[in-house]
Structure 1
Amino acid sequence: MREGAPDPELYDFTPYRARKPIVWPGGKKVAVWVSPNLEYYEIDPPANPHRKSWAKPHPDVVGYAHRDHANRVGHWRMADVMSKHGFKGSVSLSVALCQHHPDVVQDANARDWEFFSHGIYNTRYSYGMDEAQERAIIEDSIRTVREATGQTIRGWLAPALTHTPRTLDLIAEYGMDYTCDLYHDDQPFPVKVAKRRLLSIPYSLEVNDHYGFFIYNMSPRDYAQTLIRQYERLAAEESGTVMCIPLHSYLIGQPHRIGAFEEVLRHIAADAGEGGRAWITRAGDIADAWYASQQEDGQ
């Protein structure tokens, strides 16, 4: 990313209607992936001069305890509903969770969920980091997840969506295949990086449960209907789209919300069989399918 440029110069402009359609495995129209954010928030994190970790003065017991519901209760409720309907998670992981609450990470791994890094803690930001610090976080993420799960992470979602101008170049250099940090498209798109290659996998702020409940003040029913409308529109289009459902289990795993969310999973799963439009998958599988399609096209 060139500093001072009029745009980030990370990807080409290609109008949606001018693209060659993507055909997902089995001829499916929309790749659907669920991204549970398995996170750890520190009650009294080190101060970052660019942004406060908590809205209230530290230590914010209420903010910490609300989010701690995720690892104590919400994860298990959310994960069971996902497994019931055939959805495997692609986990946006605060890798410190591997030490703080290994039971949660082990449960996700046993369900054959994929892990990518969401930084060390969701209360420590990339703002102001020098290159050595940022490299240390990437290396720590790779090592910690491999030791805890046997998996080698292939993707990145910056902690609390905070970046430096070098973030995408660095994760590509370290062998990542995809980033979830760009929200510019409804299809995978190559990112311009200094070394190797990198693909932007569509994540979502618009249908993220954090935005749904905290920003847009949706009821559980409103949020569920939003997800169903999102799916139906993407599945009706001909170009081969991606729908991501980003979740935080301290929100979606609440008893009064989980039932409405299960209706969404039931709706999409009913359209995933033979002749259906949904490819229920994981982020890494989407990247593999996209890269394979480019090789077939000779690109």
Structure 2
Amino acid sequence: MRGRPRLRWPGDARVAFWIAPNVEHYEWQPPVNPNRTPYPRTTPDVLNYSWRDYTHRVGFRRIVEEMAKRDIRGSVSLSVSVCDHFPDEVRQMCDLGWELFSHGLYNTRYFYGMSLEDQRAVIRASQEAIGRFGQRLDGWLTPAITPSLETQRLLAEAGLRYTLDYFHDDQPMPLDVGPDHRFVTVPYSIEMNDIPLAHWNNMAVDEMLTTLKAQFDRLYAEGAENGRVMCFAIHPFVLGQPHRIDAFAEFLDHVKSHDQVWYPTAREIAAHYEATHYDTMTDWLGQLHGDRA
């Protein structure tokens, strides 16, 4: 971060705050991937399948209501098969002004070992599915974060504008995918993410709330000098549970109590960065690498 050109957000906001609801679909008996099993138990895994189905039955509604009360749009990490299985949910998200980006076809189909042509086919299918709802596909998060070394180049070649597959920074970055494309990484989060918080780290609800507030407060303070991004990645079958939803609402109220916050979609973050900062940062990185040569 030392020495970087200053990143300015619209309205001179300190933090670009965005929420990524993961609206996913899990197959009953997914195809076998030799590198990873999607369920912890033998399929059909009734326990874990039904837990994830809570998203569409109950959890999604709670998340939508709390965000709408505070006029915060979502940028949806969408298993695009949801467009076929739950089209009413997708229409509701579009009516609310939420962005749809692709999280693959299903969250049970990984890119581990997938051929380049098969990856291209998934990208095309994602574009077509989201296009049926009147949106352009600009962003991408590989299912279970399983991209190959070539995935980002394929995305750029297909006309996408940003990726969320990297967790390396608190600001967007230009991503070198070759001389013919401009491509941006937008900060997603594996730390401020309800599954790691609640299930990997076994945090109680009050611990999650304290952690989220601490993350935001630190980024807000640092953002006075150089703009920052905070993403909160959520899953309605986790955060939409009755005992967690009030903490989510309280955290949103905490963020809303601060004046210098921008509430964009991920697409808007990428577009603003590409238009105002991409070239400046590329030049600075080139000089930095030149100094090290």
TM-based fold match above 0.5:
yes
Of 212, 223, 241 in structure 1, the residue corresponding to residue 197 of structure 2 is 212
Of 19, 30, 33 in structure 1, the residue corresponding to residue 15 of structure 2 is 30
TM (norm. structure 2) is 0.93
Question: Do 2:15 and 2:229's aligned partners in 1 also have CA atoms closer than 8 Å?
Answer: yes
Question: Which letter does structure 1 place at the counterpart of 2:122?
Answer: I
Question: Do 1:34 and 1:244's aligned partners in 2 also have CA atoms closer than 8 Å?
Answer: yes
Tell whether 2:148 aligns with 1:164: yes
Tell whether 2:266 aligns with 1:283: yes
| Matched position secondary structure for 2:7 | coil
Deviation at 1:198, TM superposition (A): 1.0
Partner of 1:259 in structure 2?
A: 246
Count matched residues. Answer: 279
CA 1:39–1:295 in 2, change beyond 3 Å: closer, same or farther? closer
Question: Which letter does structure 2 place at the counterpart of 1:239?
Answer: N
Partner of 1:294 in structure 2?
A: 277
Tell whether 2:220 aligns with 1:243: no
| RMSD (Å) for aligned C-alpha atoms | 1.3
CA distance in structure 2 between the aligned counterparts of 1:232 and 1:145, rounded to whole angstroms: 35
| Matched position secondary structure for 1:17 | coil
Moved more, 115-124 or 222-231: 222-231
| Matched position secondary structure for 1:245 | strand
CA 1:297–1:185 in 2, change beyond 3 Å: closer, same or farther? closer
Deviation at 1:249, TM superposition (A): 0.4
Any idea what the Cα deviations from partners look like across 1:97-121, whole Å, max 9, x if unmatched? Answer: 0101111111111111001100000
Question: Do 2:7 and 2:277's aligned partners in 1 also have CA atoms closer than 8 Å?
Answer: no
Deviation at 1:169, TM superposition (A): 0.4
Question: Do 2:5 and 2:280's aligned partners in 1 also have CA atoms closer than 8 Å?
Answer: no
Any idea what the Cα deviations from partners look like across 1:192-227, whole Å, max 9, x if unmatched? Answer: 103412101000001100110111111112111111
Deviation at 1:20, TM superposition (A): 1.4
Counterpart mapping for 1:37-52 below 5 A:
37-52=22-37
TM (norm. structure 1) is 0.91
Partner of 1:128 in structure 2?
A: 113
Of 210, 218, 221 in structure 2, the residue corresponding to residue 233 of structure 1 is 218
| Matched position secondary structure for 2:230 | strand
CA distance in structure 1 between the aligned counterparts of 2:226 and 2:43, rounded to whole angstroms: 48
Long gaps (5+) in structure 2: 284-293
Question: Do 2:173 and 2:278's aligned partners in 1 also have CA atoms closer than 8 Å?
Answer: no
Counterpart mapping for 1:96-107 below 5 A:
96-107=81-92
Any idea what the Cα deviations from partners look like across 1:161-200, whole Å, max 9, x if unmatched? Answer: 1112210000011111110000000000011103412101
CA distance in structure 2 between the aligned counterparts of 1:282 and 1:226, rounded to whole angstroms: 23
Question: Do 1:86 and 1:269's aligned partners in 2 also have CA atoms closer than 8 Å?
Answer: no
Partner of 2:96 in structure 1?
A: 111
CA distance in structure 2 between the aligned counterparts of 1:174 and 1:123, rounded to whole angstroms: 23
After superposing on structure 2, the runs of 4+ consecutive aligned residues of structure 1 that deviate more than 3 Å are 295-299
Question: Which letter does structure 2 place at the counterpart of 1:152?
Answer: R
The sequence identity of aligned pairs, in percent, is 43
Of 134, 159, 162 in structure 2, the residue corresponding to residue 175 of structure 1 is 159
Question: Do 1:74 and 1:252's aligned partners in 2 also have CA atoms closer than 8 Å?
Answer: yes
Question: Do 2:174 and 2:278's aligned partners in 1 also have CA atoms closer than 8 Å?
Answer: no
Question: Which letter does structure 2 place at the counterpart of 1:162?
Answer: T
Deviation at 1:297, TM superposition (A): 5.0
CA distance in structure 2 between the aligned counterparts of 1:295 and 1:49, rounded to whole angstroms: 39
CA distance in structure 2 between the aligned counterparts of 1:31 and 1:125, rounded to whole angstroms: 30
CA distance in structure 2 between the aligned counterparts of 1:104 and 1:34, rounded to whole angstroms: 17
CA distance in structure 1 between the aligned counterparts of 2:185 and 2:257, rounded to whole angstroms: 28
CA distance in structure 2 between the aligned counterparts of 1:185 and 1:113, rounded to whole angstroms: 24
CA distance in structure 2 between the aligned counterparts of 1:179 and 1:161, rounded to whole angstroms: 11
Deviation at 1:294, TM superposition (A): 2.6
Question: Do 2:52 and 2:237's aligned partners in 1 also have CA atoms closer than 8 Å?
Answer: yes
Tell whether 2:206 aligns with 1:221: yes
